[in-house]
């Protein structure tokens, strides 16, 4: 077998190993963080790719979920504000 072909096969093999054991788990955990806890997909993907997907999994487990049930929408500017707010912090509209 020519050396160039062996090199190509070797690079392709290690690229697949990298994708399967590093990139795909990081992407899966980032998607899980976004879907289940409302956290940043890009942030978790960056953490998973730069450090390890195990680190992003640990951060996912200890981070609190972003609960939107304690928020309401301002009728004037459509921004999310705390449910106890009397005045919208974005536009100054008086809330009910």
Q: Is the dihedral of CA 71, 57, 34, 50 positive or negative?
A: positive
Residue 67 in this model has a pLDDT that exceeds 70: no
For the residues 75-84, what does the mean pLDDT come to? 89
11, two tokens: 């690079």
Residue 69 in this model has a pLDDT that exceeds 70: no
Q: Note the pLDDT tens digit of each residue in 19-54.
A: 999 999 999 999 988 888 888 889 889 998 899 888
Please, which residues have CB within 8 angstroms of residue 40's CB and are 6 or more apart in sequence?
Answer: 33, 34
For the residues 83-87, what does the mean pLDDT come to? 90
**Residue 87 or 69, more confident:** 87
Check: CB of residue 88 under 8 Å from CB of residue 81: yes
Confidence of residue 68 (pLDDT cuts 50, 70, 90): low
């Amino acid at each position: 077998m020519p050396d160039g072909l062996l090199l190509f096969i070797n690079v392709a093999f290690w690229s697949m190993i990298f994708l399967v054991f590093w990139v795909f788990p990081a992407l899966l955990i980032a998607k899980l963080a976004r879907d289940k806890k409302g956290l940043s997909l890009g942030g978790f993907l960056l953490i998973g790719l730069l450090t390890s997907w195990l680190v992003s999994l640990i951060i996912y487990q200890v981070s609190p979920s972003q609960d939107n049930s304690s928020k309401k929408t301002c009728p004037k500017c459509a921004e999310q504000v705390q449910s106890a707010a009397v005045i919208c912090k974005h536009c100054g509209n008086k809330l009910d």
